[in-house]
Amino acid sequence: MKPKPFPPLPPRPPQITANLDWHPLTNPWTRSTTTPASRSSLPKPSPFSTPSSTNPSLPYPLFFCSSKHDILALDTVGLLKAVDVAGDWERAAILFEWLIKNEEKVEAPAIEVIVRALGRESQHSLACKLIDSIPLENYELDIRAYTTLLHAYARSSKYQRAVKLFAQVKAKGLQPTIVTYNVMLDVFSKMGGSWTKILGLLDEMREKGLEFDEFTTSTVISACGREGLVDEAVEFFEKLKSQRFSLGTVTYNAFLQVFGKAGNLPQALRVFREMEERGCSRDAISYNELIATNVRAGFCEEGAALLDTMASKGITPNSVTYTTLIAGYGRAGKVEEALSLLHQMKALGYIPSVCTYNSVLGMLVKKSRTKEMLQILGQMRSDGCVPNRVTWNTMLAMCGKRGMEQYVSQMFVEMTNCGIEPDRDSFNTLIAAYGRSGSCDRAMKLYEEMTEAGFCLLLQLTTLF
């Protein structure tokens, strides 16, 4: 059943003032002066609608329509190639969309051109949207185009669509390349619960005489790590060694991650030492995995000590390194150590990512250190770091738990004004805040509306009233 649309947003409370240079309710990331009502009345252009360079007021689709017969008389495939060669993939996408709507049947070479152009620019979602609007089963493309499209489906999390397309490719008699198989290994790896299918693909590759490369081996081992298949990962890895396969850094890092996710620090250390013994260079990812394993085991100090080891080896830490340690200190309740590491990170010239800031903010919320949380939010703004859904949910939690329930509705509105779609955690926080502030009717109403909209809210309302 198709979910119902979101219920109306809760009303905005009266404007709040505070003696702070910046308050989280004064949203620094939205600069538009239009009201939500006026924004809803604005026209919503097509994602393919781009102004013409010769007439900015005339969208390209209208220009195409006014010259329809002239354009269709041209070599449309050549025209698409020319636009792509000129480096304008956006106009190529607009032209292709227009051709879909105005030609009886788009030529297969035109599909190959647009798939490759959008794949090169990592416009995976757009490529999927365009291709899904045509009956692809009626076409025969080259294997390179199919592989690029499979990759687009994988990056867009359309795994079932990728599996269906791969079956069509083999039914057409085309021979998948090593890259095609690697993409499908990645698809099954991310789908989860597909270990037998991964083994089947590996058997197919052997039958066709395709030699595994490092992407093949690392993808298979990473799939084991996601599923917690430690024994299977060890068996696959040992078989590679027995076959004298050249194991590189990427494969070892994937193997290291398997033990890291399983919380097996001794085995992770063994793999880390084996890399050095076999002359396999260890990079920042290798150290990040070992640091993460130490942190999961509760050895934050040992993980932090690896920063000095990295420096002595000439390996530069990155934001992932610091974020892992900061999150570990946060889980251990060591707030001062986490904040010190954040300051050290910035002093060394590293720009914290949104994940770094989210770890710090979540830690401060749990400790009710609201003033420091506001300071961190100010730093986040000055660094130009745009908050994501996790950031907004953390700010909602701050308003909902720390005696600021009257602010939570406005925070929710600002979140949606930033284009962030609320998730289950957002609504749970909002309902809980209403309950604690005594607005039981509003909490129950929102709960009922979200349940009808298809959300599964894991909230015990009886504990709120």
Does 421 fall in a domain? no
User: Is 242 in the same domain as 286?
Assistant: yes
Q: What does the pLDDT read at residue 87?
A: 87
Instruction: Convert 305-325 to b/e letters by CB count within 10 Å (16 or more is b).
Output: ebbeebeeeebebeebbbbbb
Cα–Cα distance measured from residue 301 to residue 291, given in angstroms and rounded to the nearest whole number? 10
Contact status, residue 281 vs residue 252, Cβ threshold 8 Å: no
Does 281 fall in a domain? yes
User: Is 196 in the same domain as 305?
Assistant: yes
Pick the more confident residue, 53 or 441: 441
Contact status, residue 312 vs residue 280, Cβ threshold 8 Å: no
User: Is 109 in the same domain as 142?
Assistant: yes
Residue 410 has pLDDT above 80, yes or no: no
Pick the more confident residue, 436 or 15: 436
User: Is 111 in the same domain as 54?
Assistant: yes
Does 432 fall in a domain? no
Least-confidence region, from 76-80, 107-111, 236-240, 434-438: 434-438
User: Is 155 in the same domain as 100?
Assistant: yes
pLDDT digits (tens, 9 = 90+) for 347-371: 888 888 888 888 888 888 888 787 8
pLDDT digits (tens, 9 = 90+) for 47-101: 444 443 333 433 555 666 666 777 777 787 888 898 888 888 888 888 888 888 8
Residue 28 has pLDDT above 70, yes or no: no
User: Is 193 in the same domain as 306?
Assistant: yes
Tell me how many degrees the CA angle 27-32-36 measures, rounded to the nearest 5.
Answer: 90
User: Is 50 in the same domain as 170?
Assistant: yes
User: Is 52 in the same domain as 153?
Assistant: yes
Does 275 fall in a domain? yes
User: Is 55 in the same domain as 167?
Assistant: yes
Cα–Cα distance measured from residue 223 to residue 227, given in angstroms and rounded to the nearest whole number? 6
Cα–Cα distance measured from residue 419 to residue 198, given in angstroms and rounded to the nearest whole number? 38
Q: What is the CATH number of the domain that holds 54?
A: 1.25.40
User: Is 115 in the same domain as 72?
Assistant: yes
pTM for the model:
0.72
Q: What does the pLDDT read at residue 38?
A: 36
Cα–Cα distance measured from residue 417 to residue 28, given in angstroms and rounded to the nearest whole number? 12
Average pLDDT over residues 183-196: 91
Number of domains observed in the structure of the chain: 3
User: Is 195 in the same domain as 143?
Assistant: no
What is the residue-wise DSSP string for 238-302? Answer: HHHHHTT----HHHHHHHHHHHHHTT-HHHHHHHHHHHHHTTPPP-HHHHHHHHHHHHHTT-HHH
3-class secondary-structure state, position 127: helix
User: Is 115 in the same domain as 210?
Assistant: no
Does 443 fall in a domain? no
Least-confidence region, from 80-84, 280-284, 402-406: 402-406
Least-confidence region, from 36-40, 259-263, 314-318, 323-327: 36-40
- Indicate if the alpha-carbon torsion angle 364, 370, 374, 379 is positive or negative: negative
3-class secondary-structure state, position 432: helix
Domain boundary residue among 174, 207, 227? 174
Does 392 fall in a domain? no
pLDDT digits (tens, 9 = 90+) for 290-320: 999 999 988 999 999 999 999 899 998 888 9
Residue 453 binned pLDDT confidence (cut-offs 50, 70, 90): low
Taking all residues of the chain, what is their mean pLDDT, rounded to a whole number?
80
Q: What is the CATH number of the domain that holds 274?
A: 1.25.40.10
Does 393 fall in a domain? no
Nearest to 306 by CA among 284, 323, 328, 326: 284
Q: What does the pLDDT read at residue 20?
A: 33
Containing structural domain, residue 94: 46-174
List Cβ neighbours of 459 (8 Å cut-off, separation of 6 or more). 428, 431, 432, 447
Domain boundary residue among 337, 366, 386? 386
3-class secondary-structure state, position 436: helix
For residue 119, what is the enclosing H or E element? helix 108-120
Does 79 fall in a domain? yes
Contact status, residue 216 vs residue 178, Cβ threshold 8 Å: yes
Domain boundary residue among 351, 386, 421? 386
% of the chain at pLDDT higher than 70 = 79
* Biggest CA pair distance of the chain: 71
